[in-house]
Amino acid sequence: MSASTRSVAFDTPAREKAADAFGMWVFVGSEAMLFGAVMLVFFVARVSYGPAFAAASKHLSLTLGTLNTAVLITSSFTMALAHFYSDARRWRAAVGTLAATALLGIAFLAIKGTEYAMEFHEGIAPVLGAPFTFDGPDPVHAAFFFGLYFTMTALHGLHLACGIIVVAGLLALWRGADASSRKRRVQAVGLYWHFVDVVWVFLFPVLYLINR
């Protein structure tokens, strides 16, 4: 293992960094395909069953959804700070902001879990065999809305959970890593984290803000 680059495949650290970033962006692009396809299904259903989707959307908690959006935006900000601090070799600040990022991610999942519990309690969670007792108009297509809502938010939550695990792993391996490894890892996990934030930026208005 040469001192200048991590892999023998690269002549210079700059090329290695560029390859790292490109690889992450291609991965993010492939993730955009996954979420894009699910969003497209939702979009077509929303156009087809507008009134049912609007009525169903009113049963989601706008307060908790808005709070969660703010939490996730804040976590992206702390992640961007962690990237800045690791580039500046201010390691203590980098560790602090990375830990804050992971904690904010956990807070997001906790709030999301609270919402799920409320929705199961209200009987508007047509998943995992739970009873569905929606009393509005067109309950069949309302169930479709809630099915898509749980699919999209659970898929997003799964991605966020993976991000939290990777940040925790990065922190666990922090002491044994040299400066260039730290910077490259923070850059890579940062790109992923911001992408998961961007996904929520679209999910939030699409799910929570239909004709309120």
Partner 1 sequence: MSEIRKLAVAYVSLLLLLALTVGSSFFDLGGFNSGLNLAIAVAKAVIIATLFMHLATAGTLPRLAVAAAGLWLAILFGLTLAGQWGNGS
Length of the chain: 212
Contacts of 37 (CB under 8 A, 6+ apart): none
Taking the CA atoms of 12, 83, 113 and 204 in sequence, report the sign of the dihedral they define.
negative
Is 66 or 114 the residue whose CB approaches partner 1 more closely? Answer: 66
CB of 70 to partner 1, least distance (A): 6
Contacts of 71 (CB under 8 A, 6+ apart): 104, 107, 108, 111
CB of 183 to partner 1, least distance (A): 13
CB-CB neighbours of 148 under 10 Å: 20
CB of 56 to partner 1, least distance (A): 15
Quote the CA–CA distance of 94 and 81 in Å, as a whole number.
7
Nearest residue to 199 via CA among 166, 168, 158, 170? 158
CB of 178 to partner 1, least distance (A): 22
Residue 22: Cβ-neighbour burial (10 angstroms; 0-12, 13-18, 19+): exposed
Is 84 or 120 the residue whose CB approaches partner 1 more closely? Answer: 84
CB of 34 to partner 1, least distance (A): 11
CB of 199 to partner 1, least distance (A): 9
**Rama region for 130: left / alpha / beta (φ>0; ψ in -120 to 50; rest):** beta
- Which chain residues interact with partner 1 by CB under 8 A? 18, 21-22, 25-26, 28-30, 32-33, 36-37, 40, 43-44, 47-48, 62, 66, 69-70, 73-74, 76-77, 79-81, 83-84, 190-191, 194-195, 197-198, 201-202, 204-206, 209-212
